[in-house]
Amino acid sequence: MNVSVGSLNSSIVHPREVFSEAVKSGCSGLLLAHNHPSGDPEPSREDVETTQRLVNAGDILGIKVLDHIIIGDGRYISFKEKGLI
């Protein structure tokens, strides 16, 4: 499900929209994913901060953020694999 569509260099992501369908569906966990049009999948400072905010919101709601995957130019970064979640 698409929650947010951003521009070339930014996107507005709010926990309310991210968790809305997960709450309605009774999910216990979710996976976040987005692409970097630049082709470099390295997470930005904003990616890390937003992910931490979503992890905290999920903890409050009882919905675990399992991972956040960033895709770019045939490569990916997993926050879980990098120890960021």
pLDDT in tens, 6-64: 445 556 678 888 899 899 999 999 999 999 988 999 999 999 999 999 999 999 999 99
The answer as to whether 2 is a domain residue is no
The answer as to whether 63 is a domain residue is yes
User: What DSSP character marks residue 2?
Assistant: -
| pLDDT score, position 73 | 93
pTM of the model: 0.82
Identify the CATH number of the domain in which residue 62 sits: 3.40.140.10
Q: Show the domain range for 41.
A: 28-78
Task: Tell me, rounded to whole angstroms, the distance of Cα 85 from its chain centroid.
Answer: 11
The answer as to whether 83 is a domain residue is no
The answer as to whether 32 is a domain residue is yes
* Strand ranges inside the chain, DSSP E: 29-35, 64-72, 75-78
State the residue for tokens 């999948």: 41
Count of structural domains within the chain? 1
